[in-house]
Structure 1
Amino acid sequence: MFKQLNTGDKLFTVFNYALLTLVICLMLYPLIYVLSASFSNPEKMLQGELWLFPTDFTLESYSLAFQNRDIWIGYRNTIFYTFLGTAINLIMSIMIAYPLSRSDFYGRGPITAFIMVTMFFSGGMIPTYLLVRDLGMVDTIWAMVIPGAVSVYNVIIMRTFFQNIPEEIREAASIDGSTNLNFLIRIVLPLSVPIIAVMALFYGVGHWNAYFDGLIYLRDSDRYPLQLFLREMLIQDDMSAMTTSGTEGVAKHLLRIEGLKYAVVVIASLPMLIIYPFLQKYFIKGVMIGSLKG
C-alpha cells in the first residue's frame, strides 16, 4: 500500500509516523522514569545515574510504603469514594440524560439550556463550601461524592448517545405494554453499555485522582483519600509519619523520602492503568457515537 502512494503522500506518512513516535516517547519516558525510580537506589538516582532502567535494584521504597498505615487508609478510602461516587454519578447522569433524549419530553429544550449554563458559570469555591457546610457534609464521606454528583458535559454526551437509539424500538416496546421505566432498564441500558463504560471511566478516574475536595472538606485524616496523602508527600514534604525510625541521619532520611515518593506515585496510579485497557474498546465506540451523531 505504501508503494502506491505518491512522493508527497509518502513524505507526509513518514513525517506523521516520526511525529507520533516522538510524542509517544515524550509521554512514555516520564512514566518509565517514575517506575524505574521507584525500584532504584535513591542515592544513585539523585546522583544522576538513572536514565531509563532501574539502577541498583531495590524494593525498599515499596516495603516502606506498604508498612505505613496512612497508605492503607488512603487506599481504602479512595476505593470506597471511587465506587460510591461513580455509582451516584452514573445513576444521576442517566436520570437526567434519558428524559432529555426523549422527543416527547415536554420542556427538554429549556431544561437543557438551564443545565448547560452551569458549564460556564458557577457559584465559586466559597459559596460551594458554605452550602456543603450548611448541609452538614463537612468532614463526612458525602462531601467527597455529592458536590460533583453530575457532570453536565458527560450528561450531554450520554443524552446524544440515547438519542441514537431508534424510536421504533420504544414504540414496539410501548405496544407490548412496556412502561418507560421498564424500557429504560431492560432495553436502553443494555444497549448503552459502551457509553456507560466510558462514563464510568471518566467519573472513576476523576474520583480516584481527587484531592482538592478532601483538602477543603475533610478534617479527620482517617477519611483522607490516597491522593491527599500523596499530595502531602510530594508538595509539603511532610514525611515524619512515613519513616519508621527517628535516629537515622538526615541524609539517609532524605534518601528514603525520595524513593518513597516515587513508590507511592506508582501505587496510586497502578489501578487506573490496569483498568483502562479493559475499557478501551468501549471508550472509542462510546465517545464517538455520543459526540458526533445526533
Structure 2
Amino acid sequence: MKIKRTSGEVAFDMVNIGLLLLFCVAVAIPLMNVIAGSLSSNEAIIHAKVFLWPVGFNLHNYDFVIRNAVFWKSFWVTIQIVLIGTAINMVLTILTSYPLSKGWLGGRKVILLCIIFTMIFQAPMVPMYILIKSLGMLNSIWSLIIPGALSAFNMMLCITFMRSIPEELYEAARVDGMSEYRIVWRIVAPLSMPINVTLILFYAVGHWNNYLGPLLYITDRELQPLQLYLYKLISQFDMDSAGGQSILELSTAVTPQGLQMATIVIATIPIIIIYPFLQKHFIKGALLGSVKE
C-alpha cells in the first residue's frame, strides 16, 4: 500500500535534495579543476584558461611525477605508516573493546570514563612534542603511529557493536573449552566484520591524511610521508621535492601549478580506489556501531 505523503514531507525532501546537490557541486568543482589543470598545457595554466575541462591536453605533468624518485619514496613511507599503523590500531581496538563491552567487568565504568576523558581533553602540542622527543621517537614512523594507536571514538563504536552479539555464543564457546583470546579472534572478530571494515577505513584515511604529526616530528627527508611532501611542494615548491630539476628544466617541461595538481591527483587515487569496495560494509558498520539497543 502506498502511503500518501503530506506536502510538508515532500517540501522537506526537496529542500534536502537541493542542499545535497549544492554540496556535491561545491565539492566536485575544486576536484574537477585540479584534475583539469593537471591534464592541461603550460600555456593554458599560466594564462588561467583552465576551469573544469583540460585545455591543451597533455600528460607531461604526470610523466614528471611518475619519474620523480622523491615522490615515490614519500609514497612508500606513507604506505608503511598506513599498513603498520592500521594493524596496530585494529588489534588494540578489538582487544580493548571486547572486555569493555561486558557489563560484568569490574571497574568498567571507571575505565570508560578515563577513556572518554581523553576525547574531551587532549594533550597540548608542546608537552606532546617533549614526550615524543624524550622517548627517542623523533624522525621515526613510530612517532606517527604510537600516539594515536587507540582512538577513543572508534573504540566506543566497536563497543556498541559488540554489545549486539548474543552472549549465548560466548557461553557456548566457553563450554567447548575456548579461551577468551580464541573467542575474540574466532567469534568476535569475524562477526564484527562490518564495524571492523569501517574502523579500518577510519584509521587508514587518518594515517594517509596525517599532516600535523609529520610536520612536528619528521625532519629527515628520507622519512617524510606523502602529506609533508605535498606541503613542501605546494607551499614552498621545494626543489628537492620537485625532484631536483632546475628552474629552466621545469619551465620547459611543466609548470609548478601543473606539477602540484598532478601530484595531488596521484596521491588521492589510492583512497578513491579502495573506498568503493568498502562502502557497503562501511555504511552498515557505521549504522550498527552508532545505535545502542
Partner of 2:196: 196
For 1:6 and 1:74, the matched residues in 2 are separated by 56
| C-alpha distance after superposition, 1:54-104 (max 9, x if no partner) | 111111111111111110101110001100000011111111111100122
* Cα distance change on mapping 1:50 and 1:163 into 2, 3 Å: same
- Asked if the contact 1:43–1:255 (Cα under 8 Å) also holds between the matched residues in 2, the reply is no
Matched, 1:288 2:287: yes
Shift of residue 129, structure 1, vs aligned partner: 1.3
Sort the Cα spacing of 1:290 and 1:232 in 2 relative to 1 into closer, same or farther, 3 A.
same
> Quick one: structure 1 residues 254 and 127, their matched pair in 2 at CA, closer, same or farther if it must change by over 3 Å?
farther
Match for residue 77 of structure 1? 77
Note if contact 2:71-2:241 (Cα within 8 Å) is conserved in structure 1: no
Q: Does 1:276 align with 2:275?
A: yes
Q: Taking structure 1 as reference, are residues 44 and 182 closer, same or farther at Cα in structure 2, changes over 3 Å only?
A: same
Instruction: Describe the shift of the 1:49–1:143 C-alpha distance in structure 2 as closer, same or farther (beyond 3 A).
Output: same
1:272 partner letter: I
| Distance (whole Å) between structure 2 residues aligned to residue 19 and residue 241 of structure 1 | 40
Give the TM-score taking structure 2 as reference length. Answer: 0.93
Aligned pairs (5 A) from 1:13-162: 13-162=13-162
Q: Secondary structure at the match of 1:242?
A: coil
The alpha carbon displacement at 1:17 in A equals 2.6
Q: Which amino acid aligns with 2:271?
A: M
Evaluate the alpha carbon distance shift between residue 141 and residue 247 of structure 1 in structure 2; reply closer, same or farther with a 3 A threshold.
closer
1: CA distance between counterparts of 2:61 and 2:2? 49
Per-residue CA deviation, residues 102-154 of structure 1 (Å, 9 max, x unaligned), is 12211111000011111111231111111111111111221121111111111
d(CA) in 2 for partners of 1:156, 1:44: 50
Amino acid at match of 2:85: G
1:238 matched to 2:238: yes
Amino acid at match of 1:78: T
Please say if residues 161 and 289 of structure 1, whose CA atoms lie closer than 8 Å, have aligned partners that are also in contact: yes
Alignment partners' CA distance in 1, 2:229 and 2:161: 38
The 3 A distance-change label for structure 1 pair 11 and 212 is closer
Q: Distance in 1 between matches of 2:13 and 2:219?
A: 55
Match of 1:292, SS state, is coil
Identical residues among aligned pairs (%): 39
Q: Distance in 2 between matches of 1:163 and 1:209?
A: 31
Q: Is the Cα–Cα contact under 8 Å of residues 69 and 243 in structure 2 kept in the other structure? A: no
What's the TM-score, normalizing by structure 1? Answer: 0.93
The alpha-carbon distance between structure 1 residues 166 and 259, as it changes in their structure 2 partners (threshold 3 A), is same
User: C-alpha displacement at 1:267, in angstroms?
Assistant: 0.9
**Which string of whole-angstrom CA distances, capped at 9 and with x for unpartnered residues, describes residues 21-68 of structure 1?**
222111111111111111111321342322211111111111111111
Q: How many residues align?
A: 293
What is the alpha-carbon distance in structure 1 between the residues aligned to residue 33 and residue 115 of structure 2? 43
Correspondence for 1:259: 258
CA distance in 2, matches of 1:13, 1:120: 35
- The residue type equivalent to 2:166 in the other structure is P
Distance 1:145 1:215, change over 3 A: same
Cα distance, 1:2–1:19 mapped onto 2, change above 3 Å: farther
- Bigger mean CA offset, 147-156 vs 8-17: 8-17
Q: Could you say what the CA RMSD is over the residues aligned between the two structures, in angstroms? A: 2.2
Kept in 1, the 8 Å contact 2:38–2:258? The answer is yes
* 1:182 is aligned to 2:152: no
Superposition misfits of 4+ residues, deviation over 6 angstroms? none
Unaligned 5+ segments in structure 1 are none
| Alpha-carbon distance in 1 for matches of 2:125, 2:51 | 41
Letter in 2 for 1:258: Q
Structure 1 position 177, deviation (Å): 1.9
CA 1:54–1:219 in structure 2 vs 1: closer, same or farther (change >3 Å)?
same
- Which sections of structure 2, spanning at least 5 residues, go unmatched? none
